[in-house]
Amino acid sequence: MAILHTVNKSPFERNALTTCLRLAEKGSTILFIEDGVIAATKGSKFSEVVTSALDDFKFCFLNPDAEARGLESDEMIDGVDSIDYAGFVDLVVDHDAVKAWL
């Protein structure tokens, strides 16, 4: 079974990402939405948290949320996939359940 984990808060605000990484099974997908897209930016204190987990999880970020925050694709960590809302819906359909880390 694979679960889609959504993280909607910045790692600078809340420890949801840390907890998610601790409790998500390897092979699951982690999607950053809303302020959570900040976790997918390069050159931040938290970038390594994500880059070091790229082999364990499939990471994505919701591009409309990144764009809203002035983040362009070259500012986002390589290996974290950009998706739109249609892609978000597809991810939900393709996984067995969804866990929101709030």
Partner 1 sequence: MSEENEQAQEGIVKKFMYVNTKAPYGTIYALEALEVVLIAAAFDQDVSLAFVDDGVYQLKKGQKTDGIGVKNFSPTYSALGDYDIKKIYIEKESLEERGLELSDLQDLKYEDEDDDYAEKSSIHVVDHKELSQIIDQQDVILSF
Partner 2 sequence: MKLGIVVNEGPYQHQASDSAYQFTKIALEKGHEIFRVFFYHDGVNNGTRLSAPPQDDRNIVEMWSALAKEYDLDLVLCVAAAQRRGMLDEGEAKRAGKDADNIAPGFRISGLGQLIEAGIQSDRLVSFGD
List residues binding partner 2 (CB under 8 A): 8-9, 33-35, 64, 85-86, 88-89, 92-93, 95, 97-98, 100, 102
21 backbone dihedrals φ, ψ, rounded to 5°: -65, -30
Q: Does residue 23 bind partner 1 (CB under 8 A)?
A: yes
- Interface with partner 1 (CB under 8 A), residue from 68, 89, 92, 98: 98
Q: Does residue 49 bind partner 1 (CB under 8 A)?
A: no
- Interface with partner 1 (CB under 8 A), residue from 15, 54, 67, 79: 15
Residue 93 one-letter amino acid: V
Cβ nearer to partner 2, comparing 32 with 57: 32
Look at residue 98 and give its three-state secondary structure: strand
Q: What's the 3-state SS for 23-66?
A: HCCCCCEEEECHHHHHHHECCCCCHHHHHCCCCCCEEEEEHHHH
